Amino acid sequence: MKENLIIRHAHIVTPKGTSALKGEQMSQLESISNGVIEITDGIITYVGTEADYKQAESKKDFQVLDVKGKCVLPGFVDSHTHFIFGGERSEEFSWRLKGESYMSIMNKGGGIMNTVRATRTCSFEDLKNKSKIFLDRMTEMGVTTVEGKSGYGLDKDTELLQLQVMHELNEDPDVFVDIITTFLGAHALPVEYAGKTQEYIEFMNKEVLPVVKEKNLAEFVDVFCEKGVFSIEESRQILSAAKALGFKLKLHADEIVSLGGAELAAELGAFSADHLLHASDQGIKDMADKNVVATLLPLTAFALKEEFARGREMIDSGCAVALATDLNPGSCFSGSIPLTIALSCIYMKLSIEETITALTLNGAAAIDRADKIGSIEKGKAGDLIVLMSDDYYVLPYYIGMNTVQTTIKGGKIIP
C-alpha cells in the first residue's frame, strides 16, 4: 500500500511528536483549518495550510480527496487486543449477569481455559477467517494499527499458530490494519500444568520463547500478572527471561486486585502497563517516572462492572495514558472505539483532546511506533481518518456510534 494522495480543505487535528505525551502535554493538539496533507508513497510529505501549499497543480500522479472542511485525525492505534481465538463465551457472560465473578468462572476451569480448549481445535484457516471479520470492523472504526496477543494456546504449537496467523494477516492485501504481535504464553496456567506453575514457566522460558524469537514471531511479551494467575515474582521471572532474549515488554497489571503490577512494569522498563483499575499511588508515580505508558481499557471495566481506572489522576500525576479496547472473548467482547471514547470522556474524565492523544500517539508509543505513526506530521505514515463532521467534538457525543467517514491507510482510501 504505497499510495500518493493529496487531502484538501481539511480541518487537521493532531498531537505532535515522536514519543508519548505525558501529563498536560496530552491536551495540546495542533489544529489547522483549511489544511492540506500530501502523502507520497504512503508517507506524509506535507502538512499545512492551503495558502502555503503551492505544489498541488504540478503533482500529476496524486489522487486528490477534497474533504470539504471535515475533521481529519491520525488513524487510531488499538494497542491492546486479543483478537485471535476460537469459540465464544456468551454462556459465561450470562452467568456474570447473574452475579458470578470473572475470577470464580476462571477458577472453575472456564474463562481463559474455555477459550484455550476451543482455540486448540481450530485450524490456521479457521483462526484467520474468524479474525478477518474483527479486522474489517476495526478499519471501519478508524483503527489503522492494532496489537494482537497470543495466549489462547498455552502449548507450543497453538501459541505459535496464533502468532503465525497474525503475521499472515499482516501480509494479506485485503487486511488494511497493521498488526503488531505480542506473545502472551503466560495468560493462564493450562490444566496440564495444574499445581506446577514453576514447570510451566520453565517450559515457556526455555522451550517456547526462544523459538518465538528465532522465528521472529512476536515483538512484545506480556504476562497476566494477577492474584491467582501469575504472581509478581513469577511475572518478573518470565519478563526478565523475555527481556534477556531481546523482547520488549508489556504487562496486564492490577486489573482485579492491587498487586504491584504497575511498579513491576516500571522496574523492568516495560513499554506499557495495561488495565490498572487498581494501580496504587506508588505505581502511578513509578509509571510517570519511568515513562511506562499507562494503557487503560475502559470497555473491560464496563463489562466487568468494575470501577474505571484513575485516568484523570494518572494524567495529573504526569503519566502518558493510552486507551485501547482489549477486544477478547471473555472479559470484554467489544472492539468498539466509539464506546471506548465515550467511557474515557464521561467516566474517566479525560478531555476529548486527551482521549484523541491516548488513542493515537500514546497508543503508538505503547507499541514502540511513536516515530512512525500516531500523528499527522511529515515523515510519518499516511494513516488517517476523516470524520463525518468538521470538528472532533462528535467523537464522545455519538455514544457508541461510529463517526468515522473514511479510513486512509498508507495514503490508500479504504473502500
Q: Which residues bind ligand NIG (CB under 6 A)?
A: 82, 111-112, 115, 224, 252, 255, 300, 326, 328-332
What region, left, alpha or beta, does residue 31 occupy, with left being phi > 0 and alpha being psi -120 to 50 degrees?
A: beta
Q: Please provide residue 159's backbone torsions phi and psi, each rounded to the nearest 5 degrees.
A: -60, -45
Cβ atoms of residues 55 and 37 within 8 Å: no
Phi, psi dihedrals of residue 332, rounded to the nearest 5°: -160, 85
* Cβ atoms within 10 Å of 331's Cβ, excluding its own: 24
Residue 311 beta carbon to Fe ion: minimum distance, rounded to whole angstroms: 17
Residue 187 annotated as binding site: yes
Task: Name the residue type at position 398.
Answer: Y
- Does residue 331 have a known ligand-binding role? yes
Can you state the percent helix, strand and coil of the chain, rounding each to 5?
35, 20, 40
Confirm whether residue 11 is marked as ligand binding: no
CA distance to 68, 131, 402, per residue, from 75 (Å): 19, 20, 14
Nearer to ligand NIG, 110 or 410 (CB): 110
Query: Which residues between 314 and 343 bind Fe ion (CB under 5 A)?
Result: 326
Minimum distance from residue 83 beta carbon to ligand NIG (Å): 11
What's the rounded Cα separation, in Å, for the pair 99 and 305? 10
Name which of 47 and 251 has its Cβ closer to ligand NIG: 251
Locus of grid cell 505544489: 55
Based on the shown chain and the rule CB under 5 A, indicate whether residue 38 belongs to the binding site for Fe ion: no
| Cβ proximity to Fe ion, 17 vs 330, nearer residue | 330
Nearest approach in angstroms of CB 109 to ligand NIG is 13
Angle at which helices 156-171 and 112-120 cross, to 10°: 80
Binding site partner of 159, from Fe ion, ligand NIG, none, Cβ cut-off 5-8 A by kind: none
Cβ of residue 335: shortest distance to ligand NIG, in angstroms?
13
- Residues making contact with Fe ion (CB under 5 A): 326
- Residues making up the binding site for Zn(2+): 80, 82, 252, 326
- Residues making up the binding site for 4-imidazolone-5-propanoate: 89, 152, 187, 255, 331
- Residues making up the binding site for N-formimidoyl-L-glutamate: 152, 328, 330
